[in-house]
Structure 1
Amino acid sequence: MNSEGPAATDGLRLLPFRGLRYVPERVGSLAAVTSPPYDVVVRPDGLAHLESADPHNIVRLILPQAGTAEARHRRAADTLTRWLAEGVLAADPEPALYVYEQRHGDLLQRGLIGALALSEPAEGVVLPHEDVMPDIVADRADLMRTTDANLEPLLFTYRGDGDATGATAVVEDAVRRPPLLATTTEDGFSHRLWALTDPLELAAVGKDLAGRQALIADGHHRWATYLRLRAERPDPGPWSYGLVLLVDTARYPLRVRAIHRVVRRLPVPAALAALTAGDAFRVRRVDGPLPRALDALAEAAAEGNAFLLAGDGSFRLADRPDPELLSRTVRADRPEAWRSLDATVLHATVLERLWRIPDSPDEIGYIHDAVAAVEHAERHGGTAVLLHPVREEIVRDLARQGVTMPRKSTSFGPKPATGLVLRSLALE
């Protein structure tokens, strides 16, 4: 990758790089060495399952296990060095952009993986929409700094012209050729990857993206990490870029799902008592099973703020918050679209005021899967708070206004599988 010149441009600048990829002959299977993104692997049993799938599973790099943070990150770096020396991972011979396809039934997603020039939010090229937790950014920064690598691509979206032109045309031409790799992971998704090295195709991609903005769909903490590491090394170079997957959602719309909360030390009876005191919320029991209860949540969310509570073997719907309570607890210096977000009301009104729960990892767990959230709450005596997803257009409109949502407000997907292509900054 040629990293000369300024990192910021008037639009998106996606550069080729020499991808690190697993050598198929050195692993059990490509599917067995992949993983979801690090923040989706939330439970110890999920981590153990991935570690046992193959001794070279990528989770040993993105979530290394040791007694201290320093030891974890050093273990990841040593493991990466060993795998390179043993030929488990190898660098592609020349820099490329990578076309990446995911398919599951009728769901099809295609995009470009490359090294994206970093830009600050004020520049308006990359639009964040969620706040981040400083301790997570610090941890990811130490891991990237120690391994000298971007281990997994962030998921970014942009709005193309809705047809097969520009970068999207290049993507759709590429998928007609034999792929570099193809595998199907245990979740039923098929994955294929192609390398783009032709100068004309790379030029077409660059010209199309030059005038566009990107929305961070998944990876706010890692993007903040990229910016922190670039600030440590302000001269142009490899740290002026970060690994991303860029998807044209006008052509390949993403799914938007909610991220649920588990309040670890708050039993359901105490949670309900605080919600009903003074008629803060209307709370009523709804019938299960979980899919049926989530349907009830969707109906209530269409009318206003609503949450589904679980953890004691039953489901309660909390909706119709007291308007005066909202006016006292939700800050007034933000757009109405932000003030009315379920995540805003949950954090400002419910967690901070009614439950008095600090937003720390010890107190609140963030879980993408509703079933897993309910099971976790039931197992540990806490309260699961299930949310209804936000529409993508609301997320994008707020981001364009420079307004960030409460952290972990949305889950865009499908997320790229981790382990199909890595970026070593030592090679650039």
Structure 2
Amino acid sequence: MPLQARYTEARDTLQGWLESGVLVPDDVPALYVYEQSGPDLLQRGLIGDVGLVDPGQHIILPHEDVFPGPIADRLALMSTTQANLEPIFLLYDGDDGPTTRLVDEVASTRSPLISAQTEDGLTHRLWAITDTAEIATINADLHDRQALIADGHHRYATYRVLQRQERATHRAAAGERSGAGASGPRAGEPVPGPWDFGLALVVDSRAYPPNLNPIHRVIQGLPLDEAAARAKASWQVHDYRDLTSGLAALERSPEPAFLLAGEDGSHLLTDPDPVQLARAMPPDHSDRWNSLNTSILTEFVMPVVWGMRDNDQTVRIVHHDTDAAVRLAIRTGGTAVILKPLAIEDVLAVAAGGERVPRKSTSFGPKPRTGLVLRTFAID
């Protein structure tokens, strides 16, 4: 099916659900308390609209770069459906403020609108906050806080592109009306509209620290013994006969450290040569950025030690499943590079400084479940 036909089909399906009552818009404005729970997991947050402002104001902080292809895809979908079909995932420091206390009070004392369990074993519960005084309290508390994009960088970038497009369209229309003597905003003024906001789940990371998992790499075509041999010129290389003992050693090792694994055991890289490492890391980045394991892998290990760049052609990505990474390495005759997760405080510090971590550095969870709350511009 052509891409545009898929977007049109999504629009028609959404409209059909609204007309038939499968989806029912709220009668009054609301924010939603959203809880995800399971074995050793509890996360609560708020789903609602966040205002879209200039990134230079450092209110919503991205920590990863985005690429044109995914943005074009999401822009076509949002433009065609005129909707936000799922929330992005934001983290902020609530400092035990009124929003955090209200979220916990609602989840602990009120009956949920829905409660459902998904195939991953998580239970999802949702409550609506419609009281205007409670919504005003939340708005006042969150107004001056800063948030980090945990998941949804391309969707957030798409929110901003769509906002610019819609503003330009409505500015032109307002200018034509003004020229014809009609009332309304002066020509050139932005016309406020639903495109000035985007759907988001906002979670207090102090009250509910998220899971931050690593993203492993598989270097296709680089045999494990060759990868380990090349590393010996700049790293201490420790050999292990099996993956389990290698992973235990990686866990005990201070950063930077990487576990290389494949068909014939595993090799732990520690204690890089400081002179070679310093020479490889870019001087235009902060010390914090240069200390990240993904930065060292991208700027030192791959190009200097192994003579390759980190890209989709040479590197396969495996999200936090070490066994899957090793199986893929064995299947492709390559090397799995197992990493420890970044520290949340490092990601926050890098983002607050206006930098971006290297691609595929973080995997935050649990992510919001698609389909619980949607936002259409016509109803907004």
TM value normalised by structure 1: 0.76
2:239 aligns with one of 285, 306, 312? 285
In the superposition, relative to structure 1, how do residues 181 and 285 fare at CA in structure 2: closer, same or farther (>3 Å)?
same
In the superposition, relative to structure 1, how do residues 71 and 257 fare at CA in structure 2: closer, same or farther (>3 Å)?
same
Aligned counterpart, 2:170:
none
CA contact (8 A) 1:76 1:147 kept: yes
CA contact (8 A) 1:152 1:422 kept: yes
Corresponding letter in the other structure for 1:333: D
CA contact (8 A) 2:31 2:46 kept: yes
Q: Shift in Å at residue 69 of structure 1?
A: 4.2
In the superposition, relative to structure 1, how do residues 142 and 265 fare at CA in structure 2: closer, same or farther (>3 Å)?
farther
In the superposition, relative to structure 1, how do residues 376 and 80 fare at CA in structure 2: closer, same or farther (>3 Å)?
farther
Aligned counterpart, 2:164:
231
Aligned counterpart, 1:91:
25
1:365 aligns with one of 316, 321, 332? 316
Q: Shift in Å at residue 85 of structure 1?
A: 4.5
Q: Shift in Å at residue 269 of structure 1?
A: 4.0
Aligned counterpart, 2:209:
253
CA distance in 1, matches of 2:218, 2:315: 6
Note the alpha carbon deviations across 1:90-139, whole angstroms, 9 max, x for none: 33333311100111234211110011101233101112222223333333
Corresponding letter in the other structure for 1:261: R
Aligned counterpart, 2:75:
141
CA contact (8 A) 1:129 1:398 kept: yes
Q: Shift in Å at residue 253 of structure 1?
A: 1.7
In the superposition, relative to structure 1, how do residues 338 and 98 fare at CA in structure 2: closer, same or farther (>3 Å)?
same
Corresponding letter in the other structure for 2:145: R
CA distance in 1, matches of 2:262, 2:10: 36
Aligned counterpart, 1:319:
270
Aligned counterpart, 1:353:
304
The question of 1:411 aligning with 2:363 is answered yes
CA distance in 2, matches of 1:271, 1:238: 52
Q: Shift in Å at residue 265 of structure 1?
A: 4.5
In the superposition, relative to structure 1, how do residues 250 and 88 fare at CA in structure 2: closer, same or farther (>3 Å)?
same
Corresponding letter in the other structure for 1:152: E
In the superposition, relative to structure 1, how do residues 75 and 297 fare at CA in structure 2: closer, same or farther (>3 Å)?
farther
Q: Which runs of 5+ in 2 are unaligned?
A: 168-189
1:376 aligns with one of 328, 346, 367? 328
Corresponding letter in the other structure for 1:281: W
Aligned counterpart, 2:101:
169
Indicate the larger mover: 98-107 or 320-329.
320-329
Q: Shift in Å at residue 186 of structure 1?
A: 2.0
Q: Which runs of 5+ in 1 are unaligned?
A: 1-65
Give SS of 2:24's match. strand
Aligned counterpart, 2:112:
179
How do 1:88-167 residues align onto structure 2 when only pairs under 5 Å count? 88-162=22-96, 165-167=97-99
Q: Shift in Å at residue 385 of structure 1?
A: 1.7
Aligned counterpart, 2:285:
334
Q: Shift in Å at residue 343 of structure 1?
A: 0.6
CA contact (8 A) 1:112 1:246 kept: yes
CA distance in 1, matches of 2:83, 2:316: 28
In the superposition, relative to structure 1, how do residues 74 and 398 fare at CA in structure 2: closer, same or farther (>3 Å)?
same
CA distance in 1, matches of 2:14, 2:264: 44
The question of 1:240 aligning with 2:196 is answered yes
CA distance in 2, matches of 1:313, 1:425: 56
CA contact (8 A) 1:308 1:386 kept: yes
Q: Shift in Å at residue 376 of structure 1?
A: 3.0
Give SS of 1:168's match. helix
Q: Shift in Å at residue 71 of structure 1?
A: 4.6
CA contact (8 A) 2:239 2:267 kept: yes
In the superposition, relative to structure 1, how do residues 323 and 160 fare at CA in structure 2: closer, same or farther (>3 Å)?
same
Corresponding letter in the other structure for 2:365: G
In the superposition, relative to structure 1, how do residues 355 and 399 fare at CA in structure 2: closer, same or farther (>3 Å)?
same
Note the alpha carbon deviations across 1:207-252, whole angstroms, 9 max, x for none: 1111211111222222222222222223421221111111112222
Aligned counterpart, 1:388:
340
How do 1:52-91 residues align onto structure 2 when only pairs under 5 Å count? 66=1, 69-91=3-25
CA distance in 2, matches of 1:406, 1:354: 18
Corresponding letter in the other structure for 2:211: R
Q: Percent identity?
A: 47
Give SS of 1:365's match. strand
In the superposition, relative to structure 1, how do residues 155 and 284 fare at CA in structure 2: closer, same or farther (>3 Å)?
same
CA contact (8 A) 2:243 2:261 kept: no
CA contact (8 A) 1:120 1:126 kept: no
Aligned counterpart, 1:201:
134
CA contact (8 A) 2:213 2:320 kept: no
In the superposition, relative to structure 1, how do residues 147 and 266 fare at CA in structure 2: closer, same or farther (>3 Å)?
farther
CA contact (8 A) 1:258 1:387 kept: yes
Aligned counterpart, 1:296:
249
CA distance in 1, matches of 2:338, 2:316: 12
TM value normalised by structure 2: 0.85
| Rg (Cα) greater in structure | 2
CA contact (8 A) 2:87 2:199 kept: yes
